[in-house]
Structure 1
Protein backbone atom coordinates (compact mmCIF):
# COMPACT_ATOMS: atom_id res chain seq x y z
CA UNK A 1 0.00 0.00 0.00
CA UNK A 2 1.22 3.51 -0.79
CA UNK A 3 2.57 5.49 2.16
CA UNK A 4 -0.16 7.71 3.69
CA UNK A 5 -0.03 11.38 2.68
CA UNK A 6 -1.39 14.42 4.47
CA UNK A 7 -5.03 14.88 3.30
CA UNK A 8 -4.46 18.63 3.16
CA UNK A 9 -2.20 17.98 0.16
CA UNK A 10 -5.30 17.29 -1.91
CA UNK A 11 -6.66 20.15 -4.01
CA UNK A 12 -9.70 20.44 -6.26
CA UNK A 13 -7.62 19.75 -9.36
CA UNK A 14 -6.60 16.37 -7.96
CA UNK A 15 -10.23 15.54 -7.28
CA UNK A 16 -11.13 16.54 -10.84
CA UNK A 17 -8.48 14.13 -12.13
CA UNK A 18 -9.91 11.34 -9.96
CA UNK A 19 -13.45 11.97 -11.20
CA UNK A 20 -12.32 12.03 -14.83
CA UNK A 21 -10.44 8.71 -14.51
CA UNK A 22 -13.49 7.22 -12.78
CA UNK A 23 -15.87 8.38 -15.51
CA UNK A 24 -13.66 7.43 -18.46
CA UNK A 25 -12.18 4.28 -16.87
CA UNK A 26 -8.82 5.12 -18.37
CA UNK A 27 -5.73 7.10 -17.38
CA UNK A 28 -5.00 7.79 -21.05
CA UNK A 29 -8.47 9.07 -21.92
CA UNK A 30 -8.55 11.18 -18.75
CA UNK A 31 -5.24 12.79 -19.69
CA UNK A 32 -6.50 13.52 -23.22
CA UNK A 33 -9.74 14.98 -21.89
CA UNK A 34 -7.90 17.17 -19.35
CA UNK A 35 -5.24 18.08 -21.95
CA UNK A 36 -2.34 17.04 -19.70
CA UNK A 37 0.38 14.40 -19.91
CA UNK A 38 -0.56 10.93 -18.72
CA UNK A 39 2.26 11.16 -16.18
CA UNK A 40 0.35 13.98 -14.47
CA UNK A 41 -2.71 11.75 -14.14
CA UNK A 42 -0.65 8.81 -12.89
CA UNK A 43 1.17 10.97 -10.33
CA UNK A 44 -2.11 12.48 -9.08
CA UNK A 45 -3.82 9.11 -8.65
CA UNK A 46 -0.73 7.75 -6.86
CA UNK A 47 -0.86 10.70 -4.46
CA UNK A 48 -4.57 10.15 -3.84
CA UNK A 49 -3.91 6.48 -3.13
CA UNK A 50 -1.67 7.61 -0.32
CA UNK A 51 -4.20 10.14 0.97
CA UNK A 52 -7.06 7.63 1.10
CA UNK A 53 -4.89 4.57 1.89
CA UNK A 54 -6.60 2.64 -0.90
CA UNK A 55 -5.62 1.55 -4.43
CA UNK A 56 -8.70 3.39 -5.79
CA UNK A 57 -8.45 1.55 -9.13
CA UNK A 58 -7.52 -2.04 -9.94
CA UNK A 59 -7.12 -3.77 -13.27
CA UNK A 60 -9.23 -6.78 -14.19
CA UNK A 61 -8.31 -8.17 -17.61
CA UNK A 62 -8.15 -4.99 -19.70
CA UNK A 63 -10.61 -2.98 -17.62
CA UNK A 64 -9.89 -0.36 -14.97
CA UNK A 65 -12.22 -1.03 -12.02
CA UNK A 66 -12.93 1.46 -9.23
CA UNK A 67 -12.76 0.14 -5.67
CA UNK A 68 -15.68 0.69 -3.26
CA UNK A 69 -13.56 3.29 -1.46
CA UNK A 70 -12.97 5.08 -4.78
CA UNK A 71 -16.71 5.21 -5.49
CA UNK A 72 -17.27 6.70 -2.03
CA UNK A 73 -14.58 9.33 -2.57
CA UNK A 74 -15.86 10.22 -6.06
CA UNK A 75 -19.41 10.69 -4.74
CA UNK A 76 -18.21 13.12 -2.08
CA UNK A 77 -15.76 14.81 -4.46
CA UNK A 78 -18.48 15.53 -7.01
CA UNK A 79 -20.62 17.12 -4.34
CA UNK A 80 -17.69 19.26 -3.13
CA UNK A 81 -16.74 20.30 -6.66
CA UNK A 82 -20.33 21.20 -7.53
CA UNK A 83 -20.75 23.28 -4.38
CA UNK A 84 -17.44 25.07 -4.88
CA UNK A 85 -18.24 25.70 -8.54
CA UNK A 86 -21.57 27.21 -7.50
CA UNK A 87 -19.82 29.34 -4.88
CA UNK A 88 -17.17 30.52 -7.33
CA UNK A 89 -19.57 31.15 -10.22
CA UNK A 90 -20.32 34.69 -11.18
CA UNK A 91 -23.76 35.90 -10.18
CA UNK A 92 -24.64 36.43 -13.83
CA UNK A 93 -23.85 33.20 -15.69
CA UNK A 94 -22.11 33.82 -19.01
CA UNK A 95 -22.22 30.85 -21.42
CA UNK A 96 -19.60 32.44 -23.67
CA UNK A 97 -17.03 32.28 -20.85
CA UNK A 98 -17.90 28.92 -19.35
CA UNK A 99 -15.72 25.83 -19.69
CA UNK A 100 -16.02 22.31 -18.34
CA UNK A 101 -17.81 19.29 -19.74
CA UNK A 102 -21.47 18.31 -20.00
CA UNK A 103 -22.24 14.59 -20.44
CA UNK A 104 -25.60 13.58 -21.92
CA UNK A 105 -26.89 10.00 -21.87
CA UNK A 106 -29.36 9.03 -24.58
CA UNK A 107 -30.05 6.45 -27.30
CA UNK A 108 -30.41 6.34 -31.08
CA UNK A 109 -33.75 8.16 -31.19
CA UNK A 110 -32.45 11.17 -29.25
CA UNK A 111 -29.15 11.23 -31.15
CA UNK A 112 -31.12 11.56 -34.40
CA UNK A 113 -33.96 13.84 -33.30
CA UNK A 114 -32.67 16.04 -30.45
CA UNK A 115 -28.90 15.96 -30.03
CA UNK A 116 -27.83 17.67 -33.30
CA UNK A 117 -29.87 20.82 -32.57
CA UNK A 118 -28.79 20.83 -28.92
CA UNK A 119 -25.11 20.46 -29.80
CA UNK A 120 -25.28 23.21 -32.42
CA UNK A 121 -26.98 25.57 -29.95
CA UNK A 122 -24.45 24.84 -27.20
CA UNK A 123 -21.51 25.33 -29.56
CA UNK A 124 -22.95 28.62 -30.80
CA UNK A 125 -23.46 30.07 -27.32
CA UNK A 126 -20.83 28.26 -25.20
CA UNK A 127 -17.97 27.39 -27.57
CA UNK A 128 -15.62 26.37 -24.73
CA UNK A 129 -18.03 23.89 -23.18
CA UNK A 130 -17.09 20.31 -24.03
CA UNK A 131 -19.90 17.88 -24.83
CA UNK A 132 -19.85 14.12 -24.39
CA UNK A 133 -22.71 11.95 -25.62
CA UNK A 134 -22.90 8.47 -24.06
CA UNK A 135 -25.24 5.59 -24.73
CA UNK A 136 -27.90 5.26 -22.06
CA UNK A 137 -29.31 1.90 -23.19
CA UNK A 138 -31.62 0.80 -20.37
CA UNK A 139 -29.13 2.01 -17.71
CA UNK A 140 -29.73 5.75 -17.98
CA UNK A 141 -30.66 6.27 -14.33
CA UNK A 142 -27.69 4.22 -13.19
CA UNK A 143 -25.41 6.39 -15.32
CA UNK A 144 -26.76 9.46 -13.52
CA UNK A 145 -26.28 7.91 -10.08
CA UNK A 146 -22.75 6.72 -10.94
CA UNK A 147 -21.89 10.24 -12.18
CA UNK A 148 -21.22 8.90 -15.68
CA UNK A 149 -23.74 11.40 -17.08
CA UNK A 150 -25.16 14.77 -16.08
CA UNK A 151 -28.37 14.56 -18.10
CA UNK A 152 -30.56 11.74 -19.36
CA UNK A 153 -32.85 12.23 -22.35
CA UNK A 154 -35.42 9.68 -23.45
CA UNK A 155 -38.71 7.93 -22.69
CA UNK A 156 -37.73 7.40 -19.05
CA UNK A 157 -39.68 7.91 -15.85
CA UNK A 158 -38.05 9.78 -12.97
CA UNK A 159 -38.09 6.72 -10.68
CA UNK A 160 -38.12 8.24 -7.23
CA UNK A 161 -36.96 11.17 -5.15
CA UNK A 162 -33.33 10.83 -6.29
CA UNK A 163 -34.22 12.34 -9.67
CA UNK A 164 -35.63 15.52 -11.12
CA UNK A 165 -37.44 15.48 -14.44
CA UNK A 166 -39.04 17.68 -17.06
CA UNK A 167 -41.21 16.55 -19.95
CA UNK A 168 -39.87 17.67 -23.31
CA UNK A 169 -42.67 16.52 -25.64
CA UNK A 170 -44.97 13.67 -26.68
CA UNK A 171 -44.43 11.32 -29.58
CA UNK A 172 -46.61 8.54 -30.94
CA UNK A 173 -46.00 5.26 -32.73
CA UNK A 174 -46.38 4.74 -36.45
CA UNK A 175 -45.94 1.75 -38.74
CA UNK A 176 -43.28 1.88 -41.44
CA UNK A 177 -43.47 -0.43 -44.48
CA UNK A 178 -42.48 -0.67 -48.13
CA UNK A 179 -44.82 1.25 -50.50
CA UNK A 180 -45.57 -2.07 -52.25
CA UNK A 181 -46.71 -3.71 -49.02
CA UNK A 182 -50.29 -5.08 -49.36
CA UNK A 183 -51.43 -2.90 -46.45
CA UNK A 184 -49.81 0.32 -47.69
CA UNK A 185 -52.34 3.08 -48.28
CA UNK A 186 -54.87 1.61 -45.85
CA UNK A 187 -55.76 2.59 -42.30
CA UNK A 188 -54.59 -0.29 -40.12
CA UNK A 189 -57.00 -1.74 -37.58
CA UNK A 190 -55.63 -3.77 -34.68
CA UNK A 191 -56.93 -6.91 -36.40
CA UNK A 192 -55.02 -5.95 -39.59
CA UNK A 193 -51.88 -5.07 -37.64
CA UNK A 194 -51.39 -8.08 -35.37
CA UNK A 195 -50.75 -10.87 -37.94
CA UNK A 196 -48.24 -8.89 -40.07
CA UNK A 197 -44.52 -9.73 -40.23
CA UNK A 198 -43.04 -7.46 -37.57
CA UNK A 199 -39.52 -6.20 -37.04
CA UNK A 200 -39.17 -5.78 -33.27
CA UNK A 201 -36.60 -3.46 -31.70
CA UNK A 202 -35.38 -5.09 -28.48
CA UNK A 203 -33.21 -2.22 -27.14
CA UNK A 204 -30.82 -4.84 -25.77
CA UNK A 205 -33.64 -6.94 -24.33
CA UNK A 206 -33.92 -4.87 -21.14
CA UNK A 207 -36.49 -2.24 -22.14
CA UNK A 208 -39.91 -2.80 -23.68
CA UNK A 209 -41.49 -0.30 -26.06
CA UNK A 210 -44.72 1.27 -24.81
CA UNK A 211 -46.81 -0.25 -27.60
CA UNK A 212 -45.54 -3.75 -26.72
CA UNK A 213 -46.32 -3.16 -23.05
CA UNK A 214 -49.84 -2.07 -24.05
CA UNK A 215 -50.32 -5.17 -26.24
CA UNK A 216 -49.24 -7.33 -23.28
CA UNK A 217 -51.74 -5.54 -21.08
CA UNK A 218 -54.50 -6.17 -23.62
CA UNK A 219 -53.54 -9.84 -23.85
CA UNK A 220 -52.23 -9.87 -27.44
CA UNK A 221 -49.13 -11.64 -28.74
CA UNK A 222 -47.28 -9.96 -31.59
CA UNK A 223 -45.68 -12.35 -34.12
CA UNK A 224 -42.08 -11.22 -34.55
CA UNK A 225 -40.24 -12.05 -37.78
CA UNK A 226 -36.97 -10.25 -36.99
CA UNK A 227 -35.48 -8.86 -33.78
CA UNK A 228 -32.94 -6.04 -33.91
CA UNK A 229 -31.21 -4.21 -31.02
CA UNK A 230 -31.69 -0.66 -32.35
CA UNK A 231 -33.68 1.32 -34.93
CA UNK A 232 -30.41 2.12 -36.73
CA UNK A 233 -30.63 0.89 -40.33
CA UNK A 234 -34.10 -0.58 -39.89
CA UNK A 235 -35.33 1.16 -43.06
CA UNK A 236 -32.92 -0.98 -45.10
CA UNK A 237 -34.44 -4.16 -43.66
CA UNK A 238 -37.96 -3.10 -44.61
CA UNK A 239 -37.32 -1.82 -48.12
CA UNK A 240 -38.55 -4.30 -50.76
CA UNK A 241 -40.12 -6.69 -48.24
CA UNK A 242 -43.43 -7.36 -46.49
CA UNK A 243 -41.90 -6.53 -43.11
CA UNK A 244 -43.35 -3.78 -40.92
CA UNK A 245 -41.67 -1.83 -38.11
CA UNK A 246 -43.39 0.13 -35.34
CA UNK A 247 -41.31 3.17 -34.40
CA UNK A 248 -41.83 6.71 -33.03
CA UNK A 249 -43.34 9.08 -35.58
CA UNK A 250 -40.62 11.73 -35.35
CA UNK A 251 -37.96 9.12 -36.00
CA UNK A 252 -39.88 7.84 -39.03
CA UNK A 253 -39.70 11.35 -40.51
CA UNK A 254 -35.92 11.20 -40.32
CA UNK A 255 -35.23 7.65 -41.52
CA UNK A 256 -38.37 6.67 -43.45
CA UNK A 257 -37.80 8.47 -46.74
CA UNK A 258 -39.27 6.42 -49.59
CA UNK A 259 -41.27 4.17 -47.26
CA UNK A 260 -44.97 4.21 -46.41
CA UNK A 261 -45.87 5.53 -42.96
CA UNK A 262 -49.23 5.00 -41.30
CA UNK A 263 -50.62 5.37 -37.77
CA UNK A 264 -50.10 2.48 -35.36
CA UNK A 265 -53.46 1.11 -34.13
CA UNK A 266 -52.13 0.38 -30.62
CA UNK A 267 -53.50 3.18 -28.37
CA UNK A 268 -50.40 4.52 -26.64
CA UNK A 269 -47.85 7.33 -26.81
CA UNK A 270 -44.29 8.18 -25.74
CA UNK A 271 -43.22 10.85 -23.24
CA UNK A 272 -39.72 12.14 -23.94
CA UNK A 273 -38.20 13.29 -20.65
CA UNK A 274 -35.18 15.23 -19.44
CA UNK A 275 -33.86 13.70 -16.18
CA UNK A 276 -31.10 14.78 -13.75
CA UNK A 277 -30.09 14.47 -10.10
CA UNK A 278 -29.56 16.77 -7.11
CA UNK A 279 -25.83 16.82 -7.88
CA UNK A 280 -26.36 19.23 -10.78
CA UNK A 281 -29.76 20.65 -9.86
CA UNK A 282 -28.56 24.09 -8.71
CA UNK A 283 -25.38 24.43 -10.79
CA UNK A 284 -25.71 27.50 -13.10
CA UNK A 285 -24.11 25.80 -16.09
CA UNK A 286 -26.35 22.75 -15.82
CA UNK A 287 -29.46 24.85 -15.32
CA UNK A 288 -28.55 26.77 -18.48
CA UNK A 289 -27.99 23.56 -20.48
CA UNK A 290 -31.29 22.06 -19.29
CA UNK A 291 -33.19 25.17 -20.34
CA UNK A 292 -31.42 25.15 -23.70
CA UNK A 293 -32.42 21.50 -24.26
CA UNK A 294 -36.02 22.33 -23.40
CA UNK A 295 -36.11 25.33 -25.74
CA UNK A 296 -34.53 23.40 -28.60
CA UNK A 297 -37.14 20.66 -28.19
CA UNK A 298 -39.90 23.27 -28.30
CA UNK A 299 -38.48 24.57 -31.57
CA UNK A 300 -38.28 21.04 -32.97
CA UNK A 301 -41.88 20.24 -32.10
CA UNK A 302 -43.12 23.61 -33.40
CA UNK A 303 -41.46 22.91 -36.75
CA UNK A 304 -43.05 19.46 -37.05
CA UNK A 305 -46.48 19.88 -35.48
Structure 2
Protein backbone atom coordinates (compact mmCIF):
# COMPACT_ATOMS: atom_id res chain seq x y z
CA UNK A 1 0.00 0.00 0.00
CA UNK A 2 1.30 3.46 -0.95
CA UNK A 3 1.86 5.64 2.15
CA UNK A 4 -0.54 8.55 2.57
CA UNK A 5 0.82 11.90 1.47
CA UNK A 6 2.00 14.30 4.19
CA UNK A 7 -0.85 16.40 5.53
CA UNK A 8 0.30 20.06 5.57
CA UNK A 9 -2.54 20.94 7.94
CA UNK A 10 -0.85 18.88 10.65
CA UNK A 11 2.37 20.93 10.45
CA UNK A 12 2.91 24.38 11.93
CA UNK A 13 5.88 26.71 12.08
CA UNK A 14 6.55 25.85 15.73
CA UNK A 15 6.96 22.19 14.77
CA UNK A 16 9.39 23.10 11.98
CA UNK A 17 11.34 25.28 14.40
CA UNK A 18 11.56 22.34 16.79
CA UNK A 19 12.87 20.19 13.92
CA UNK A 20 15.51 22.85 13.21
CA UNK A 21 16.63 22.98 16.85
CA UNK A 22 16.95 19.22 17.19
CA UNK A 23 19.10 19.15 14.07
CA UNK A 24 21.19 22.08 15.27
CA UNK A 25 21.72 20.72 18.79
CA UNK A 26 21.57 17.02 17.82
CA UNK A 27 19.62 16.35 21.01
CA UNK A 28 15.98 16.18 22.04
CA UNK A 29 16.96 17.17 25.59
CA UNK A 30 18.97 20.22 24.52
CA UNK A 31 16.19 21.33 22.17
CA UNK A 32 13.65 21.04 25.02
CA UNK A 33 15.87 23.16 27.28
CA UNK A 34 16.25 25.77 24.55
CA UNK A 35 12.48 25.88 24.02
CA UNK A 36 11.83 25.74 27.79
CA UNK A 37 9.50 22.76 27.45
CA UNK A 38 9.57 19.14 28.62
CA UNK A 39 11.52 16.62 26.54
CA UNK A 40 8.28 14.72 26.02
CA UNK A 41 6.86 17.74 24.15
CA UNK A 42 9.81 17.68 21.73
CA UNK A 43 9.50 13.88 21.32
CA UNK A 44 5.76 14.26 20.62
CA UNK A 45 6.37 16.94 17.98
CA UNK A 46 9.03 14.90 16.19
CA UNK A 47 6.77 11.83 16.32
CA UNK A 48 4.02 13.82 14.54
CA UNK A 49 6.49 14.98 11.89
CA UNK A 50 7.75 11.41 11.43
CA UNK A 51 4.21 10.21 10.85
CA UNK A 52 3.52 13.07 8.46
CA UNK A 53 6.66 12.64 6.35
CA UNK A 54 6.91 8.82 6.69
CA UNK A 55 10.55 9.10 7.71
CA UNK A 56 12.40 8.68 11.03
CA UNK A 57 13.96 12.14 10.48
CA UNK A 58 16.62 11.47 13.15
CA UNK A 59 18.63 8.36 13.98
CA UNK A 60 20.80 7.94 17.06
CA UNK A 61 24.51 7.72 16.28
CA UNK A 62 27.28 8.06 18.86
CA UNK A 63 24.89 9.40 21.47
CA UNK A 64 23.57 12.15 19.17
CA UNK A 65 20.45 12.66 17.03
CA UNK A 66 21.62 12.72 13.40
CA UNK A 67 19.28 13.94 10.67
CA UNK A 68 18.37 11.61 7.82
CA UNK A 69 18.76 12.67 4.21
CA UNK A 70 14.99 13.17 4.00
CA UNK A 71 15.13 15.36 7.12
CA UNK A 72 17.91 17.47 5.55
CA UNK A 73 15.71 18.06 2.48
CA UNK A 74 12.76 19.06 4.67
CA UNK A 75 14.97 21.36 6.75
CA UNK A 76 16.37 23.12 3.67
CA UNK A 77 12.87 24.09 2.53
CA UNK A 78 11.44 24.79 5.97
CA UNK A 79 14.32 27.11 6.83
CA UNK A 80 13.37 29.25 3.84
CA UNK A 81 9.81 29.45 5.17
CA UNK A 82 11.00 30.25 8.69
CA UNK A 83 13.22 33.04 7.34
CA UNK A 84 10.29 34.45 5.36
CA UNK A 85 8.12 34.31 8.47
CA UNK A 86 10.79 36.12 10.45
CA UNK A 87 10.94 38.83 7.76
CA UNK A 88 7.14 39.21 7.84
CA UNK A 89 7.23 39.51 11.63
CA UNK A 90 9.62 42.48 11.45
CA UNK A 91 8.03 45.94 11.74
CA UNK A 92 7.03 47.35 8.37
CA UNK A 93 9.33 50.17 7.29
CA UNK A 94 7.92 53.08 5.30
CA UNK A 95 9.96 56.00 4.01
CA UNK A 96 7.67 58.66 2.49
CA UNK A 97 10.61 60.31 0.74
CA UNK A 98 11.10 57.22 -1.43
CA UNK A 99 7.52 56.03 -1.84
CA UNK A 100 5.80 56.17 -5.23
CA UNK A 101 2.49 54.85 -3.95
CA UNK A 102 -0.88 56.32 -4.83
CA UNK A 103 -3.18 57.26 -1.97
CA UNK A 104 -6.90 57.97 -2.15
CA UNK A 105 -8.78 60.31 0.19
CA UNK A 106 -12.58 60.18 0.36
CA UNK A 107 -14.31 63.40 1.43
CA UNK A 108 -16.90 65.96 0.34
CA UNK A 109 -17.10 69.66 -0.59
CA UNK A 110 -16.31 71.03 2.89
CA UNK A 111 -13.12 69.03 3.20
CA UNK A 112 -12.04 69.71 -0.40
CA UNK A 113 -12.27 73.47 0.23
CA UNK A 114 -10.95 73.72 3.80
CA UNK A 115 -8.70 70.71 4.42
CA UNK A 116 -7.55 68.96 1.25
CA UNK A 117 -5.29 71.75 -0.08
CA UNK A 118 -3.24 71.76 3.14
CA UNK A 119 -3.26 67.95 3.31
CA UNK A 120 -1.92 67.63 -0.23
CA UNK A 121 0.73 70.29 0.43
CA UNK A 122 1.90 68.37 3.53
CA UNK A 123 1.98 65.07 1.63
CA UNK A 124 3.93 66.65 -1.22
CA UNK A 125 6.51 68.09 1.19
CA UNK A 126 7.13 64.75 2.87
CA UNK A 127 6.52 62.36 -0.05
CA UNK A 128 7.30 64.16 -3.33
CA UNK A 129 6.94 61.00 -5.45
CA UNK A 130 3.54 59.92 -4.15
CA UNK A 131 0.32 60.66 -6.02
CA UNK A 132 -2.99 61.65 -4.44
CA UNK A 133 -6.52 61.00 -5.62
CA UNK A 134 -9.54 62.67 -4.01
CA UNK A 135 -12.96 61.04 -4.43
CA UNK A 136 -16.47 61.88 -3.24
CA UNK A 137 -17.53 60.30 0.03
CA UNK A 138 -21.21 61.33 -0.13
CA UNK A 139 -23.04 59.58 2.71
CA UNK A 140 -21.45 56.14 2.39
CA UNK A 141 -17.74 56.86 2.45
CA UNK A 142 -17.21 54.02 4.93
CA UNK A 143 -18.13 51.57 2.17
CA UNK A 144 -15.31 53.00 0.06
CA UNK A 145 -12.95 52.08 2.90
CA UNK A 146 -14.29 48.55 3.15
CA UNK A 147 -14.13 48.12 -0.63
CA UNK A 148 -10.53 49.42 -0.64
CA UNK A 149 -11.52 52.32 -2.90
CA UNK A 150 -10.08 54.81 -0.39
CA UNK A 151 -7.26 54.77 2.15
CA UNK A 152 -8.86 57.27 4.52
CA UNK A 153 -12.16 59.07 4.92
CA UNK A 154 -12.13 62.68 6.16
CA UNK A 155 -15.26 64.45 7.37
CA UNK A 156 -18.20 64.10 9.78
CA UNK A 157 -18.23 60.33 9.41
CA UNK A 158 -16.99 58.83 12.71
CA UNK A 159 -17.93 55.13 12.91
CA UNK A 160 -18.51 53.25 16.16
CA UNK A 161 -19.04 49.74 14.83
CA UNK A 162 -16.31 47.13 14.57
CA UNK A 163 -14.17 47.24 11.45
CA UNK A 164 -13.46 50.97 11.66
CA UNK A 165 -11.29 53.37 13.62
CA UNK A 166 -11.55 57.14 13.83
CA UNK A 167 -9.72 60.11 15.29
CA UNK A 168 -11.31 63.50 15.84
CA UNK A 169 -9.73 66.50 14.16
CA UNK A 170 -11.94 69.21 15.66
CA UNK A 171 -15.53 70.17 16.52
CA UNK A 172 -17.50 72.16 13.96
CA UNK A 173 -20.89 73.86 14.13
CA UNK A 174 -23.40 75.47 11.78
CA UNK A 175 -23.99 79.21 11.33
CA UNK A 176 -26.14 81.39 9.09
CA UNK A 177 -24.73 83.08 6.01
CA UNK A 178 -26.49 86.09 4.51
CA UNK A 179 -26.01 89.37 2.66
CA UNK A 180 -25.09 92.39 4.87
CA UNK A 181 -28.23 94.16 3.67
CA UNK A 182 -30.48 91.41 5.09
CA UNK A 183 -32.88 92.90 7.74
CA UNK A 184 -31.65 90.39 10.35
CA UNK A 185 -27.95 90.60 9.54
CA UNK A 186 -27.28 92.61 12.73
CA UNK A 187 -29.95 90.99 14.89
CA UNK A 188 -30.20 87.93 17.10
CA UNK A 189 -31.90 85.03 15.37
CA UNK A 190 -34.32 83.30 17.71
CA UNK A 191 -36.09 80.11 16.65
CA UNK A 192 -39.24 81.86 15.34
CA UNK A 193 -37.28 84.35 13.23
CA UNK A 194 -34.98 81.64 11.98
CA UNK A 195 -37.82 79.38 10.81
CA UNK A 196 -39.44 82.35 9.05
CA UNK A 197 -36.37 83.08 6.90
CA UNK A 198 -36.11 82.38 3.19
CA UNK A 199 -33.75 79.44 3.43
CA UNK A 200 -31.34 78.01 0.92
CA UNK A 201 -31.19 74.30 1.72
CA UNK A 202 -28.09 72.39 0.70
CA UNK A 203 -29.39 68.93 -0.13
CA UNK A 204 -26.33 66.71 -0.47
CA UNK A 205 -28.40 63.67 -1.40
CA UNK A 206 -27.33 60.09 -0.73
CA UNK A 207 -29.41 59.96 2.46
CA UNK A 208 -27.19 62.56 4.15
CA UNK A 209 -28.89 64.96 6.59
CA UNK A 210 -26.98 67.89 8.06
CA UNK A 211 -26.58 67.95 11.84
CA UNK A 212 -28.48 71.25 12.25
CA UNK A 213 -31.50 69.72 10.47
CA UNK A 214 -31.37 66.72 12.76
CA UNK A 215 -31.29 69.07 15.77
CA UNK A 216 -34.11 71.20 14.36
CA UNK A 217 -36.35 68.21 13.65
CA UNK A 218 -35.56 66.65 17.04
CA UNK A 219 -36.95 69.85 18.59
CA UNK A 220 -40.21 69.32 16.67
CA UNK A 221 -39.70 71.86 13.89
CA UNK A 222 -39.76 71.64 10.11
CA UNK A 223 -37.71 73.70 7.70
CA UNK A 224 -39.38 74.70 4.42
CA UNK A 225 -36.69 75.90 2.01
CA UNK A 226 -37.19 78.63 -0.57
CA UNK A 227 -34.32 77.30 -2.68
CA UNK A 228 -32.61 73.90 -2.65
CA UNK A 229 -29.15 73.31 -4.14
CA UNK A 230 -26.98 70.16 -4.22
CA UNK A 231 -23.75 71.79 -3.02
CA UNK A 232 -22.37 74.92 -1.33
CA UNK A 233 -20.55 75.74 -4.58
CA UNK A 234 -21.62 79.18 -5.83
CA UNK A 235 -23.50 79.90 -2.62
CA UNK A 236 -21.92 83.34 -2.11
CA UNK A 237 -23.15 84.49 -5.52
CA UNK A 238 -26.63 83.16 -4.80
CA UNK A 239 -26.88 84.97 -1.44
CA UNK A 240 -25.32 88.28 -2.47
CA UNK A 241 -27.90 91.09 -2.66
CA UNK A 242 -30.79 88.76 -1.76
CA UNK A 243 -32.96 88.03 1.28
CA UNK A 244 -31.91 84.36 1.22
CA UNK A 245 -30.10 82.73 4.15
CA UNK A 246 -28.05 79.52 4.12
CA UNK A 247 -27.12 77.45 7.16
CA UNK A 248 -23.67 75.98 6.59
CA UNK A 249 -20.66 74.88 8.67
CA UNK A 250 -19.16 77.95 10.31
CA UNK A 251 -15.61 77.57 8.98
CA UNK A 252 -16.96 77.15 5.45
CA UNK A 253 -19.16 80.23 5.90
CA UNK A 254 -16.22 82.29 7.13
CA UNK A 255 -14.17 81.18 4.12
CA UNK A 256 -17.05 82.23 1.80
CA UNK A 257 -17.92 85.46 3.61
CA UNK A 258 -15.87 88.03 1.70
CA UNK A 259 -18.95 90.24 1.29
CA UNK A 260 -21.40 88.28 3.44
CA UNK A 261 -22.30 88.09 7.13
CA UNK A 262 -21.93 85.01 9.35
CA UNK A 263 -24.56 84.98 12.14
CA UNK A 264 -25.29 82.59 14.99
CA UNK A 265 -27.84 79.88 14.31
CA UNK A 266 -30.33 78.75 16.98
CA UNK A 267 -29.59 75.21 15.76
CA UNK A 268 -25.77 74.94 15.72
CA UNK A 269 -25.81 71.18 15.19
CA UNK A 270 -22.30 70.65 16.50
CA UNK A 271 -20.45 67.71 14.99
CA UNK A 272 -16.99 66.17 14.85
CA UNK A 273 -14.69 66.32 11.86
CA UNK A 274 -12.73 63.08 11.90
CA UNK A 275 -10.27 60.87 10.10
CA UNK A 276 -11.83 57.43 9.60
CA UNK A 277 -10.08 54.28 8.42
CA UNK A 278 -10.82 50.58 8.03
CA UNK A 279 -9.38 48.06 10.47
CA UNK A 280 -7.47 46.28 7.72
CA UNK A 281 -5.20 49.35 7.34
CA UNK A 282 -4.71 49.97 11.06
CA UNK A 283 -1.28 48.34 11.30
CA UNK A 284 0.11 49.56 7.98
CA UNK A 285 3.13 51.84 8.36
CA UNK A 286 2.17 53.84 5.26
CA UNK A 287 -1.37 54.35 6.49
CA UNK A 288 -0.16 55.36 9.96
CA UNK A 289 2.06 57.98 8.33
CA UNK A 290 -0.84 59.23 6.19
CA UNK A 291 -3.23 59.48 9.15
CA UNK A 292 -0.66 61.27 11.30
CA UNK A 293 0.10 63.71 8.48
CA UNK A 294 -3.61 64.53 8.08
CA UNK A 295 -4.12 64.88 11.83
CA UNK A 296 -1.10 67.14 12.36
CA UNK A 297 -2.15 69.27 9.39
CA UNK A 298 -5.84 69.66 10.21
CA UNK A 299 -6.30 69.43 13.97
CA UNK A 300 -8.24 72.40 15.27
Is TM-score (shorter-chain normalized) higher than 0.5? yes
Say if 2:97 is the partner of 1:112.
no
Q: Aligned-pair distance for 1:267? A: 4.4
Task: Find the aligned partners of 2:93 and 2:263 in 1 and give their Cα distance.
Answer: 48
What is the correspondence of 1:68-87 to structure 2 with a 5 Å cutoff?
87=88
Is structure 2 residue 249 aligned with structure 1 residue 235? no
Superposed, which structure 2 residues align to 1:27-176 within 5 Å?
87=88, 92-176=93-177
8 Å CA contact retained: 2:158, 2:275: no
Offset of 1:268 from its aligned partner? 2.5
User: How far does residue 261 in structure 1 lie from its aligned partner after superposition?
Assistant: 0.8
- The question of whether the paired residues in 1 share the 8 Å contact of 2:163 and 2:278 is answered with yes
Q: Distance in 1 between the 2:88 and 2:95 partners?
A: 15
For residue 182 of structure 2, give the secondary structure of its aligned residue in structure 1. coil
C-alpha displacement of 1:126: 0.3
Look up the match of 2:298.
297
CA distance in 2, matches of 1:205, 1:240: 31
| Cα displacement (A) at 1:227 | 0.8
Kindly provide the CA deviation profile for residues 135-182 of structure 1, in whole angstroms up to 9, marking residues without a partner as x: 111120111111111100111131410111111101111100011001
TM-score w.r.t. the length of structure 2 is: 0.68
Q: Is the 8 A contact 1:93 1:285 kept in 2?
A: yes
Counterpart for residue 178 of structure 2 = 177
Distance 1:88 1:252 in 2: 49
2:92·2:284 contact (CA, 8 Å) conserved in 1?
A: no
1:180-195 equivalence runs, <5 A:
180-195=181-196
Aligned to 1:251: 252
**5+ unaligned residues in a row in structure 2: which ranges?**
1-84
Larger Rg computed on CA atoms: 2
Label 1:112 to 1:88 Cα distance change in 2 as closer, same or farther (>3 A): farther
Task: Decide whether the 8 Å contact of 1:196 with 1:223 is kept in 2.
Answer: no
- Report the alpha carbon displacement of residue 89 of structure 1 after superposing the two structures with TM: 8.7
Report the TM-score when normalising by structure 1: 0.67
After superposition, give the CA deviation of every residue in 1:212-266 in whole Å (9 maximum; x if it has no partner): 0111111001121011111111111111110000000111121121001111111
CA distance in 2 between partners of 1:106 and 1:244 (Å): 25
Stretches of structure 1 lacking an aligned partner (at least 5 in a row): 1-83
Contact 2:173 2:268 (C-alpha < 8 Å) held by counterparts: no
- Does structure 1 conserve the Cα–Cα contact (< 8 Å) formed by 2:200 and 2:246? yes
Residue 81 of structure 2 aligns with which residue? none
Match of 1:219 in 2: 220
Q: Aligned equivalents of 1:290 and 1:89: distance in 2?
A: 21
Q: Is the 8 A contact 1:210 1:268 kept in 2?
A: yes
Residue of structure 1 in register with 2:263 after alignment: 262
CA contact 2:175–2:268 (8 Å) conserved in 1? no
Please list the CA deviations of residues 164-219 of structure 1 after superposition, one character each: whole Å capped at 9, or x if unmatched: 11111011111000110010111211121111000011112510000101111110
The aligned counterpart of 2:25 is none
